[in-house]
Structure 1
C-alpha cells in the first residue's frame, strides 16, 4: 500500500465529511466488485457475493441504511479517506501498514490462506515471475522474496498473465483462486502449500468514524455469536466451516 500524506486542509475536510456521515442514516459501502466470491457484479449489474450478503445483514443489525459503491482496488483506501464512501468491505486483510491510514473493525473472515497457481506445478515460486494484484498483501509478500513481481490492477488480469505467459505463477487468496482452478479443467494447478498472510479481513473505516466502527463491531459480534457468519462463509466458500 502506497503511503498517503494528507495536508491540514485535507484532514479538516475529511473530518467534516466524516462528522456528517456519522449523523446520517445512510452509509455508503465501498467494495471492488471484482473478487468473487467475496464481491462481484452479477448479471443484473448489482454488487453480489459473500460481502454483499454479509454487509446487508450487518447494516440491518446496526439499524443503518446502506448503499453500495464500487471502486477500483488501487485507489480504494484514498477514496475512503477522502469521503467518497464510508466503509471498505472488499476482502481487505487487516495489516499494520493499512491500519496507519484507516481503522478496521474486528475481523469478519479469518486469515484466508494465499496460494500460488500456475499452468504446471513444476515451478520454483521463489525465482519465478509472479503476478499479483497491486496494493495487496500478496504483492508485498512476493516483493520480499527472490521472485520477480509483476503487478496488475485487477484480479482477472493476474490470471490472464499466467495463461498468456506474462507470468509463471499468480499469488492470491485461496478463496478466490481455488474455484478458478477447479473450473479450469486441469489447465491450472495449485503450486505448493498454503501461504499465511495478514490478520484476517475486516471492515475499513476512517479513523475519525469511531461511532460507525463501533456499530459495525457490535453487528459483527452478533453474527458471530448466533452462527450467521459461519453459515454465510460455508455458503460462499464451498463448505468452509468459517472458524468463528
Structure 2
C-alpha cells in the first residue's frame, strides 16, 4: 500500500507526540515514591475520611474535592486515595451497585469509554419533576469527550415553574505527581441549556476537550428548576 510522504510525516509526528506524552507521565513520577494510579479496594483505605462512606457521603466528597482545587493543583494524599477507591475501572467490574452517585471511570492512555443511565423524580416547592437520560464519557490519549442525553419533565405544578435548566458536568483528573501527590483536576467543564417556555426540556450534546495524562473522569448531570416557591436541583447521581 502506497503512503505519501506527507502522510508518512503526519504518522511520524503523531507517534512522536504519543511517545513524548507517555514519557512525560513517567518523568513526572521519576523522583517521587512509587505509587500506582490503579483503583484500590475499600479494604486498602488508610485515611479515615474515606472509610465507610454511604452513597450520599461519596457524592458530597466528590463535590467537596471538585470545588476545593484549582485546575492543575495537586490533590492531598487522602483526596488522591478517595479518587482511586471510589472509581469504576474501565477494565474491571464495578465494586459498587448501579445506583452509586455519579460515574467515575479510570482510563489508561488508550481509548476507553463508558455510559450510564438514570431516572430520578423529586417533588419540592409544590413542583414534581422527572429527570432521566444517560451520560457518556470517552477518554483518548490527548483528546477526550463527554455527552449528555437528558430530559427534564415537570409532571405536577407546571404553572409555578418559570425556568428549566439542564446541565451535564465533567471533571477529568490527571497525573500531576508533585509534592508527593499524584492526581489533580486537569479539566472542569459543563454543557447546558434552558427554557422559560416549555415544561419538558431536553439536552443532547457532546463536548470535546484536550488534556494530558487523564486517569479518571467524573461525569454527572442535573436539572435546575426555578418556580414561585424557589429554585432546586435534581442530580442524576
Query: Shorter-normalised TM-score: what interval?
Result: under 0.3
TM-score with structure 1 length normalisation?
0.26
TM-score with structure 2 length normalisation?
0.27
Please identify the structure whose Cα radius of gyration is greater: 2
Higher strand share: 2
Higher helix share: 1
